Amino acid sequence: MSRVYNFCSGPAALPEAVLKKAQAELLDWHGAGVSVMEMSHRSTEFMSILASTKARLKRLLEIGDDYEILFVQGGASTMFAQIPANLTSGYDSACYLDTGAWSTKAINEAKKYTNVKVVGSSKSDNYTSVPNFDQLALDESAAYLHLCSNETIGGLEFADLPETDLPIVADLSSTILSRKIDVNKYGVIYAGAQKNVGPAGIVICIIRKDLLARCDDKLPTIWNFANLAKHDSMVNTPPTFAIYLADLVFEWLEEQGGVEAMEAINKKKAQTLYDYIDQSAFYANPIDPAFRSRMNVPFTLADDSLEARFLEESDAAGLRTLAGHRSVGGMRASIYNAMPMEGVEALIDFMKAFEKRYG
């Protein structure tokens, strides 16, 4: 067996310890005589896994009792529709911040449900920066303010939030659990699982309980956040194995020292990679240094005709999935929690050698 360093943006690398534990428990989970995949979702065994997953997430992110944790199916893209469908009843509009490809998708989907007010956009600088929060055209009568704290494709991340009384609804798909956040500053946090949480199949949704009063009875039952909360995310059969793996990832995170410890490592990983890119005339990253993503590091080669060769040779060296998103090209190294410092060092060593050969 030889595992590679997997830089995929998602589904992304999982901690090896988690995969091994899942493997060890695959045929017979804790003496149940079946795997988690084969268990009734209503069984006491699975209910204990669900409770454990929620309790660990609550501890890791210090989520208060005034928030509900939901496991939603359909991916973060479904949330782009579910958010306005659930939260705009009784309101004329919703505010959106536009910082890149994923914000744009959320905006386009929301337009089907409500009047979208784009309160700030960095489109004119090709999404290399974040709009000045003091100059946002916020409408305090809107349903909420939506933003995407880490643009996975562009590699743009911001930790600060605008000052507003509107509930902030944040797509944290590619940054959740990678750095400390104050959950109390958000109305809703949602995140697709397949980067920092577990396999694809669930979206974590952390929602302030008072917002559940907005969920209209006319919503499809399975889409209604209030209904999901009432039934503990078990309106129908949830993706049980994905939830179980999320529990194992959360357990692993707790063993690593929690979010604060991960943040320190993530900072170091990203800084080392950006420092190397910045001192080189061969590689470049276009993002304003104040907003460079710690999770997704896009970079270009001075001579883009070498891209195919870079990908071929890096792949052969065991550094997998370094191609940029198909919409932008170039390279992208996604270095989520499960990517160790050694993986980043191996990438830099390869980049140095490649530059020496072709630079």
Helix (H) or strand (E) holding 208: strand 203-208
Residue 235, classified by CB atoms within 10 Å of its CB into exposed (0-12), middle (13-18) or buried (19+), is middle
Q: Which of residues 72-101 bind ligand PMP (CB under 6 A)?
A: 75-77
Catalytic pick among 29, 54, 171, 269: 171
- Per the structure block, which two tokens stand in for 171? 């797509």
Catalytic pick among 195, 223, 247, 252: 195
> Among residues 29 and 173, whose Cβ is nearest to ligand PMP?
173
Note whether 119 binds ligand PMP by CB under 6 A: no
117 as an active site residue: the answer is: no
Note whether 256 binds ligand PMP by CB under 6 A: no
Annotated ligand binding at 139? The verdict is no
356 as an active site residue: the answer is: no
Q: Which residues of 116-144 are buried (b: 16+ CB within 10 A; e: fewer)?
A: bbbbbbbeeeebbbbbebeebebbeebbb
The distance of Cα 72 from the centroid of its chain, to the nearest Å, equals 14
Between vectors from CA 255 to CA 268 and to CA 267, what angle results, nearest 5°? 10
Note whether 10 binds ligand PMP by CB under 6 A: yes
Residue 27, classified by CB atoms within 10 Å of its CB into exposed (0-12), middle (13-18) or buried (19+), is exposed
Which stretch in 56-64, 69-77, 239-247, 259-267 sits in contact with ligand PMP by CB under 6 A?
69-77
Note whether 6 binds ligand PMP by CB under 6 A: no
Instruction: Give the β-pairing of 5-6 and 188-192.
Output: unpaired
278 as an active site residue: the answer is: no
> Among residues 102 and 127, whose Cβ is nearest to ligand PMP?
102
Q: How far is the CB of 43 from ligand PMP (least distance, A)?
A: 27
Annotated ligand binding at 23? The verdict is no
Q: How far is the CB of 125 from ligand PMP (least distance, A)?
A: 19
Q: How far is the CB of 201 from ligand PMP (least distance, A)?
A: 9
Annotated ligand binding at 152? The verdict is yes
Amino acid at 86: N
Residue closest to 302 by CA, chosen among 347, 335, 351: 351
Note whether 173 binds ligand PMP by CB under 6 A: yes
What is the binding site for ligand PMP (CB under 6 A)? 10, 75-77, 102, 148, 152, 171, 173-174, 192
Annotated catalytic residues are: 102, 171, 195
